[in-house]
């Protein structure tokens, strides 16, 4: 299940479309650089969580400025210019917002697999196609890039073995193995399993959840 309801999706798509078009077309920032700044910002996390205060309270242009202020301390922003045409940068922000909502991957995970300039290059092929066609094709790319579960990636980065994690968390070794093999769905794990694993690994419970669609691509 997506983190926020579909009723918010169109608003989020508009925000990200305006944000990326402004950053790329008006501020002339390298598309990949800007989207990486956004993906690592607190604003990306808030949008992934469906933060209505941010989604309704800030325009796409203001969001771009907020990201740049947080990540670079930049404050010299030129005004946006009227644009009657949907640019590749605009469409790319729009379609990435849709894909993030549908897939439940984070913006950072998406950016690591699919640079923003690559999405812009896909404009000619996909901009008149149904959104789900783009999403289905990117699903396969994401699974190829991230064959391991989030639990395994976080555990490996933390530097402990499955046995060490089991001993520290109290979660059974076999359960950890099954979660990492996707033979047991960690999204449906007992609450204490999730809490204990997250505490040991120094992450949030949400960081351990798997994108719902990925299991269908195994």
Q: 29-57 pLDDT, tens per residue?
A: 999 999 999 999 999 999 999 999 999 99
- For residues 18-26, give the mean pLDDT: 95
> Which DSSP helix (H) or strand (E) runs through 120?
helix 116-121
For the segment 87-96, what is each residue's pLDDT rounded down to a tens digit? 999 999 999 9
Q: Which domains are assigned to the chain?
A: 6-145 (no CATH), 150-217 (1.10.260.40)
Judge contact between 55 and 47, C-beta under 8 A: yes
Q: Which residues of 60-76 are buried (b: 16+ CB within 10 A; e: fewer)?
A: bbbbbbbbbeebeeeee
CB 78 within 8 Å of CB 27:
yes
Q: Are residues 169 and 199 in contact, defined by beta-carbon separation less than 8 angstroms? A: yes
Band (214; pLDDT cuts 50, 70, 90)? low
């Amino acid at each position: 299940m997506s983190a926020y309801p579909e009723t918010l999706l169109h608003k989020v798509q508009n925000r990200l479309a305006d944000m990326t078009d402004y950053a790329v077309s008006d501020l002339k920032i390298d598309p990949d650089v800007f989207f990486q700044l956004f993906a690592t910002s607190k604003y990306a996390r808030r949008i992934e969580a469906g933060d209505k205060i941010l989604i309704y309270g800030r325009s796409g242009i203001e969001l771009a400025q907020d990201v740049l202020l947080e990540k670079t301390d930049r404050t010299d922003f030129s005004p946006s210019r009227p644009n009657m045409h949907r640019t590749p940068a605009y469409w790319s922000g729009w379609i990435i917002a849709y894909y993030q909502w549908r897939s439940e991957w984070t913006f950072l995970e998406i950016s690591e697999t699919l640079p923003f300039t690559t999405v812009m290059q896909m404009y000619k092929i996909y901009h008149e196609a149904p959104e789900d066609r783009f999403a289905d094709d990117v699903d396969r790319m994401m699974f190829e890039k991230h064959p391991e579960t989030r639990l395994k990636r976080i555990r490996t980065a933390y530097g402990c073995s499955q046995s060490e994690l089991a001993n520290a968390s109290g979660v059974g070794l076999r359960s950890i193995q099954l979660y990492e093999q996707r033979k047991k769905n960690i999204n449906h794990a007992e609450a204490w399993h999730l809490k204990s694993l997250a505490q040991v690994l120094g992450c949030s419970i949400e960081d351990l959840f798997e994108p719902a669609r990925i299991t269908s691509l195994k």
